[in-house]
Each structure stands twice: as C-alpha cells, then as structure tokens.
Amino acid sequence: MSTETFRIKFLTSKNCFCCLSTRNLSKYPLRSCVKVFLNNSDVLYFSIGPSNFQLEDDELGISSLYANVLNLRENDLVEMCIVNNVSAVKSLTLSATCADDYEVLELLAESVQNTLLNHVTVVNKNQKVIIWVSPFLHVNVNIDEVRPTSPGHLENLTEVIIKPPTKVKTDITEHNNMSVFDMFQSRVPLTNSEYVFNKFSKEIEPQVFRLHPLDDLKKVFGEIPNSDQYFNVFIRQKDLSGLLRKTASGKVDKLFLLKVIVPPYVSVQGFIAENLQVETVRVQLIVIQDFFKTEIDFESCDFSVMFCHQSLFKNFKLKVGSKVILYSQLRDTSSVDSIIILTKSVYLNDVEEMLKYYLAKNCKQGPVLLNADFPFQLDDKNMVCALKFEPSSKSYCILDSDNIRKIKYTVVEKEVEIIRNESEEQFITFNELDVCTEVGNYRQIFENVCNILQKSLNRNSYELEGIVISGKSGSGKTTLLNLIKNKLSDSPFRLHFEIVNCGTLKGKTLDSLSRMLYCNIVRAIYFQPSVILLDDLNAICGKVEREIQTQESVVVNRSSEIVRDLLNIYLTHNQIQVIATCENITQINEYILPARGKRVLWHPFKIEDLNQSDRLSLLRFLFSNKTNLDVVDLEKYTSQMDGFVVQDLVDFTNKAIFESIKEGCSQVSSIHCDNVFSNFSPVSLQNINTHSFGDKDFSDVGGLEDVKTILIESLLWPLQYPHLFASAPLRLQTGVLLYGPPGTGKTLVAGAAAKHCNLRLIAIKGPELLSKYIGASEQAVRQIFEKAQSAKPCILFFDEFDSFAPRRGHDSTGVTDRVVNQLLTQLDGVESLSGVCVLAATSRPDLLDPALLRPGRLDKQIFCPFPDSAARLAILKALSKSVKFANNVNLSEIANLAENYSGADLQGVLCTAHLAAVEEAMGHDKELKEDPEITQEHLKDAIVNSRPSLSRDERAKYERIYKKFEGSPNKLDLLGAVQKATLA
C-alpha cells in the first residue's frame, strides 16, 4: 500500500469530502475512499469529492469547519492512500455532541435524511462529521457504530439511528438547577459553550444572578441600610437557595466570591469562547427581607436578581442584565497590617482622611468589605482611589470599628481611573412621552405592546409571540419603538433590547445577514429577558410574487427563511420576544407571515393616519417646545395637511423656525409658515411623480358648466365638510367617468378640477400600465393605487381608459382581462379609497367592461358634449385671455361661424389666426417689438381655412354610441360594441 504526502489546505466548502487537484483525480477517482495518516498516528477516512477550487498537486483541500472539528491545522503534512473494496453501510448510529444539536436533528430529521449523502459518503467509527441542515446551520455528530464493517460507504437505503448526547458527569450536585454550563449550553445553543463548562464545572454549587442597579431598590424602599458600601450586594429571600452557611463560631457567613461573566464577545465570525472573560470580586451578601418585609417580584424575569452598587457596573463595563455567579467563600481570618492608597497627585493630601471618613461612617452599620486593586470613588468630586494591603497576599479585607484605628495608612501617587460606560441613550421626557402617545392611536398601541411583552415573558414555557407594527414611512414607528424601549428597559421591568436596523442589512450576502442577526441573538440570550427590535423588516423580508421568479426574489425568500429559522430555533426556549416594524403588513414575506400555520409575528398593530385634531395638537406642542410662536392660525395649515405624517410636521416646524432665524426674528410668524408651506413636500410624495396641472382652474375652462358643478360636488365638498361626510351612513361615490367626443376638454377639466379643489393629480396613460409579463400589469395597477393612498387627498386620473379596461373575453392574450380584474378589486375592495377620487376619461364608453360602471366603482358618468354657440363663446374667451385682439373683434360672430367645432378645434383657430397676424406684421416690419393684434379678418380666414376635426359621419357615430350608452339601464346591452384583441 503506497502512500503520498499532501499538505492540508482549508476550503470554504460545506461538506465532509476532501478535494484534490485535477491531475490527481486520475489516481484518486471521485467518491473513492481514502485513508489519511496524521502525525500523531491517528487515522481518518474521507471520500474524494468534486471541487470548484484551484488546488496545487501537493494540496489536500478540506472544509475549514470540518478541519477544526478534526483538530487539523492548515499546512499540516499528512500521508494518504486509497482504500479499495469498501463495503456498503447497512446501519449507522450517530449521536449529537450537545443537547441543542440533538434538538435540531430531531426537528429537521427529514431535511437531514434528504441531504446527508450530499455532505458525507464514507463514515468510520468514532470519527466526527458535520451535517449541514441548511446552508447557514450545521450540527456536529459523532459516529458511534457502523455496521457491518468500518469504514463503510453510505447508500440510499442505509438505516440512520440518532442517539441523544451522553451526559457529562460533574461534581455539581443534581439539585443545582442553573449552573454556568446550563446558562450558556441550554440557552445559547453553541458548541463553544463547552469551554465555559470546562472552565467552571469543578466549582461547588454556583448560582447565577441577573444584575440590577441598586437604585431600583431605592425607588421601592427609599433609603436602604448598608447601601453606601461598594461591595455589598442585595438579593431576595427566595433567591437564597441554600447559599448561606454558618462559620465555626456559629455565625452566618455572608462573604461570597462574585464571578462576573463579561458579555460574550460576538462578531460576524461568531461566538469566540476563548475571549470570554470572567472577573472576580469579593462581596458581602445582604438579604432584603432582613430590613424590609415586603417581597419584590420581577414577573418578567425567571433569573435570580441581584442588586449591586453602580461602581461594579462601571468597573467591569457591565449593562443591566449581565450575569454573575455567586460562590461561597471561605473567610480569611488573617488580619491586615496596613493599607496602601493609590490615587492621583491632586488628591494626595485629602484621600487618606476621606477614606477614614468612609470607613468610620459605614462601620457604624456593620463590617466593611474592601477589595484590592478595585478603583472606587470616595466623594462627589471624582476623588478616585484603589487599595493594596499588607501582607501583599491579601486580596481583600473586612474592617470593623475596632481595627480601622489600628491599621497604618500609606498614600502612593498613581493614576487611577474608573472606567466609564459608553453613554446611554437619553430617555424621552414626560411631556414628550404624553404627546407622542396621545396622538392618533399611539397610546393604544403603546399599552397593548407593553402588556403583551410583560405577559409573554412571564410564562414558564416560552413561546415566540412576535409583534409587528405597520405604518407609513415617517409615521413614527421607530419613535414608538423607542418609547416602548424606554419604558420596559427602566425599573422595575429592566428588559434588554437588541435593535436591528434591517435597512442596513439590505444588499448583504446571505452569509453576512445570518451572522449579523446571529450576533444580536447571542447578546439577547445572554441579557435575557430581552426583546429584539427588527426595524424596517420589509427591507430584507419583503413580499415576493410567486409568478415572478427573479434572482432578487430568490434572495429575498432565502433571507426571509434565514430570519424565520434563526428566530424559531434560538428564541423558542428563551425569555425573548420580537417586535418588527414595516410600512405595510401585506408586504411581509410569507415565510414570516404565512397564510396558515405557525407564524413568527402573531400580534399586528397599525399606526392610523393623523386627523386634523392630531395634527393641530402636535404642531402646537412642537412650536411651543422649540420657539416662540406669533399669532399664527395653525388650523389653516393643518386643514391642508391631509396625508401628512409625524415626520412631515416635525420637518415643517424645523423649516419654519429656520426661516425665522434666517431673518433674525425671535418669533415664527405666518409669513414664515406661508413660505415653508408653499414649497413643502411631504414624505409620502418623495418617491411619487405628481403631475403639474398648470395654472388653469375651472375659470379657464369654457363651457361644461354641468360637468364642473358635478365635479365640485364630488371632489370639493367632502374636503370642505369632512365631518358631515364622515357621518354619512353610506359609502361616498369616489369614481367618476368623463365620456364624450375627442377634443371636448375631458383631460383639461381633470387638471382644472385638481387646481380648483387644491388636490394633487396623478395622471396615468392607459397603455403604460400594460406589460407582456404575467403579473406585471396587475402589480403596476396595485402600485398606482398604493401611491394614490400615500398622496391623498388626490385625484387619480386615467386617460384613454378604454385602451386598458375593455370588455373581458375579447383579448386573446388575457392581459387586459387581468388588469380589469385588478381594477375591480381596487375600486370596490374591502379597504375604502378615502381621500382618493378616481377620475377616468374615454371617448368610447361602450368598449368598457360593464362591471366597472356598477355602483361603488365608476358609478357617476358625466357626458362632455360638443359645445353649443354659448359654450363656444365661453371657450373663445377663456382661450384668448392672453391674446391681443384688435378693437373690431367680435367673438360672438366667430362662435356662430364655428358650428360643430370642438374646444380643441377652437384653440387651433386661434393659433392659425395668430400665425396669420404675425406673418402680416412681419411683411411690414421684420423686427417685431410687440405682439401683433389679431383682427376679425384673421379669425374669419382661420375659420374658412380650417374644418372640424370630426366629420359629420363621425359625429353621428358618436351620437349613436352615446344615446345607446345612456339609454341602456345597466350599460350591459350595448350591441355592436366590440373591442379588438390587443397584443399588449
């Protein structure tokens, strides 16, 4: 059996195969079994697998994860030979290396069964392998038994038996229900937690506590005895759990060793066990019920709670919720001869007296414990010192009123500083909290979310009951999360919050996304009870249409699956809940919010739009807090702020204040507010292209008086009298169809209506919504209505409506049929189109699908006829406002001569007459200094040289169509109305 020497090369593959260069594959075929001899005489068996990596001829490629499990190092030299005649495995017994890996194997047994042969094909007894349950989750298992012989080759019919992990025997007594190992191993399913277990498993009866600041106790009981001593810790009676024991003299010994588990270092590479720090300090234990009979209950925390001085938090850079372990400590009865005081030079003269004062004051209440090399502050002037003891072997000492006079004090100059924690976020003040929660339905959401979190985290069996808060962009979702965080992270709740800004994760690779979210989960498990805040979840877990499969949609689905799996696996058995925010709950991926089955987010809440009263109260508060407000009618502005969100009001206030500062005024006046409001664009319109309707309103539209009256009643009245229309028992008509011959001003009157009623206009040309891709046209329709809801109050105007909403069944491609179905859903769906008026224009109403004209949709049809003589005169006057006429012009005569002319034809007559006047004037003077006058002769010549755009036959055809349309009761029996099939 000949062997060859190879050098180990780490790969990023996710399997248990070994790989060779292309040249070596001729000697070691794919799927063949090889035997690898290590330097320590150990033997491993692998299967040759395919490789996408460039390897040298002397390199043996192995997954870096699998190599670490096998204790292989990169560039190690190994001997390898091929093994022939490897028998098939009939039965394989394997066991997980830890309880959490076993739980994953149980939950995902079917996935393991389907993918096992993709990761390993050759197995050997007592050799570990890695099984990748998913591309981002793997478990380590040990091969316990291979039958009939080992090594063996796995087949499709191989029986796989999974055994639970073997329990590790320790000296910890069975009644100890929470050891360090339990804390990390059961709550943080990481294989590296064995490092923590091995480090502390030999200790006797440790007990884990969750740290809370001593100020929480003072809020309940007021002044607390012995609370000024830095090394006194307070616990509840029910958390003692047999910790106290008596000394030889019969007294209860309250001296303990406190081991502080510094929060685990977590990076995108994962949990680093070797960097886990454990700091120790001696403390004196005080039972709260020795002084106060009242029992303190923390319903949201199933850990034992310890209250300690702020100096411990500062010195060890801890946060509320950090975990410590309390050990019984044998008392050192030897005495201290002298105390060496280390401090800065500026405190050398005063530090000794201040220390003696501290000791004398606290010794009146009992013995004082001091720790060596522990910086602490002696007064309110930042006098910081540290202590050393003689003999130098003493790491702590306990002083009473007798021996503090016998000890010698020595002062030594040394730089001593207390480590400062990073600045905490500022809490919102009481007034701000009241205003923020009293606007809209903030108060209701705020109270309901807080109640759900308290109740769900108080249960013994933890289940993930996530919360999702939806609302428009700028509606205050993040602010609401901060309010919830500020309340529940304060006393008495003291929940830990992990904030994940999902917007910053968008565009990351799936591996990076998994690792970053994993880091937040590990910290949340350590500090639990915790809440994970997923802000803007739709950025990484957006909804994907099933009909459209693109590379982006596949990535979004995989991201959503990763988020769901991580939350379900790691948070199910921990005191952790999730709050997510999004703009619309319907835009969350179905992996997170499936139609049926188990959900990650159970409780939905929606931030409602602000009404005028909400906007007014919020504006008053913002101005009163930031500046002096002159006599300004804020109601005038809030009445025109329909659709504005909280962020818009904040921006409006800041810009108005900036205007006043720019002009050097001490108060904000109406002029400043007018200047800002005239150019202000709300958040909802930042990504929406609203069309400019120019400077024309109804006064610039000649004729069509009945049309204008109906539009004012439909559009303007609901805005002028909102309270009256809001109390109406029936649903308001929000759909209007304008029909009439071409050139009669249907499009013009839509723009004029928006100008006259001061509404935004979103104009849609019918064919631009159609697409050849399945589902794209319907999606375009949905997006248009979503934009309209964001821009309300507005007019959604569809021009050439018959081009994309014809009768169903006449389109061979089926595109327009699906568009009509989507339009019917949007026009008369479950959700009301409040604040959005749908206006459609067509010259062929007979071609429209009759379902669009039923009540509740475009149920108000308005005819725009050819103008009569009076209407033509009004049109000419409206069009000629900026035209210079001669004194002899008689528009009435021109209106009578222009019989059968439409409004567009009359505009053409004026243009022709103006051009004739310019040509005539240039014949006399080529350098025109003034606009030439249009005479009556110019207008008559224009009438003679032009003709109506519609012939007599075409006008007759339209008249027959409109008479039949108007005479049909249900607009359903329009015979002869046939729409040709389109290829859109």
Transcribe 685-725 into DSSP letters.
Answer: GTT--PPP-TT--GGGS-S-HHHHHHHIIIIIHHHHSHHHH
- Give pLDDT tens digits for 740-787: 999 888 888 888 888 888 788 888 877 777 877 777 788 888 888 888
CATH fold of 338-413, please? Vcp-like ATPase; Chain A, domain 2 (3.10.330)
Please state, as a whole number, how many other Cβ atoms lie within 10 Å of the Cβ of residue 569. 18
Q: How high is the pLDDT of residue 978?
A: 43
From CA 566, how far away is CA 779, in angstroms rounded?
31
CATH of domain 698-863: 3.40.50.300
Centroid of chain to Cα 338: 59
pTM beyond cutoff 0.75 = no
Sign of dihedral through CA atoms 506, 512, 515, 516? negative
Whether the bond into 806 is cis, omega within 30 of 0: no
CATH fold of 612-680, please? Helicase, Ruva Protein; domain 3 (1.10.8)
CATH 3.40.50.300 for the 430-606 domain, yes or no: yes
CA dihedral 123, 126, 128, 134 (to 10 degrees): 60
CA dihedral 513, 516, 518, 524 (to 10 degrees): -140
Q: How high is the pLDDT of residue 453?
A: 87
Q: What single-letter amino acid sits at 75?
A: N
- Identify the H or E element spanning 564: helix 551-571
Sign of dihedral through CA atoms 896, 898, 904, 908? negative
Q: State the pairing for strand pair 735-739/860-863.
A: parallel
Phi, psi of 829, rounded to the nearest 5 degrees: -85, -170
What does the angle CA 150 – CA 153 – CA 155 come to, to the nearest 5 degrees?
Answer: 130
Please state, as a whole number, how many other Cβ atoms lie within 10 Å of the Cβ of residue 91. 13
From CA 735, how far away is CA 836, in angstroms rounded?
9
From CA 228, how far away is CA 236, in angstroms rounded?
19
Please state, as a whole number, how many other Cβ atoms lie within 10 Å of the Cβ of residue 471. 25
CA dihedral 914, 917, 918, 921 (to 10 degrees): -160
Q: CB of 483 within 8 A of CB of 309?
A: no
From CA 318, how far away is CA 299, in angstroms rounded?
23
What sections of 847-902 are H helices per DSSP? Answer: 869-879, 891-897
| 3-state DSSP percent of the chain in helix, strand and coil, to 5 | 35, 20, 40
- How far CA 26 is from CA of 19, 63, 77, in Å, comes to 13, 22, 22
- Collapsing DSSP states into helix, strand and coil, what is residue 106? helix
Sign of dihedral through CA atoms 379, 385, 386, 390? negative
- Give pLDDT tens digits for 480-490: 888 888 888 88
Whether the bond into 594 is cis, omega within 30 of 0: no
Q: CB of 529 within 8 A of CB of 457?
A: yes
- Radius of gyration from C-alpha coordinates of the chain: 40
What does the angle CA 447 – CA 450 – CA 454 come to, to the nearest 5 degrees?
Answer: 140
CATH of domain 869-954: 1.10.8.60
Whether the bond into 867 is cis, omega within 30 of 0: no
> Could you say which architecture CATH assigns to the domain 180-328?
Beta Barrel (2.40)
Of the candidates 556, 584, 579, 638, which has an alpha carbon nearest to the alpha carbon of residue 473?
A: 584
Per-domain boundaries in the chain: 4-161, 180-328, 338-413, 430-606, 612-680, 698-863, 869-954
Domains 430-606 and 698-863 in one fold: yes
Phi, psi of 928, rounded to the nearest 5 degrees: -75, 125
pLDDT by 10-residue block (mean), the chain, 984 residues = 88 90 89 89 90 88 90 89 91 84 77 80 92 80 91 88 65 35 42 38 60 84 81 83 56 76 53 55 85 65 80 84 80 79 87 88 86 82 85 85 84 78 43 61 88 76 79 87 87 88 89 88 87 92 76 88 87 86 88 80 88 86 78 82 85 90 85 86 71 68 85 76 68 80 87 82 79 78 82 84 82 77 78 77 89 84 88 86 82 87 88 86 70 84 86 89 74 42 41
From CA 575, how far away is CA 406, in angstroms rounded?
51
- Collapsing DSSP states into helix, strand and coil, what is residue 560? helix
Centroid of chain to Cα 513: 13
Q: CB of 246 within 8 A of CB of 379?
A: no
CATH of domain 4-161: 3.10.330.10
Q: 146 has which bridge partners?
A: 92
Q: Reading across the β-sheet that carries 384-390, which strands appear in turn?
A: 376-377, 384-390, 338-343, 408-413
From CA 542, how far away is CA 558, in angstroms rounded?
11
From CA 896, how far away is CA 891, in angstroms rounded?
9
- Which residues have a Cβ under 8 Å from the Cβ of 937 and sit 6 or more positions away? none
Of the candidates 693, 688, 676, which has an alpha carbon nearest to the alpha carbon of residue 640?
A: 676
- Collapsing DSSP states into helix, strand and coil, what is residue 122? strand
The owner of tokens 């019920």 is: 289
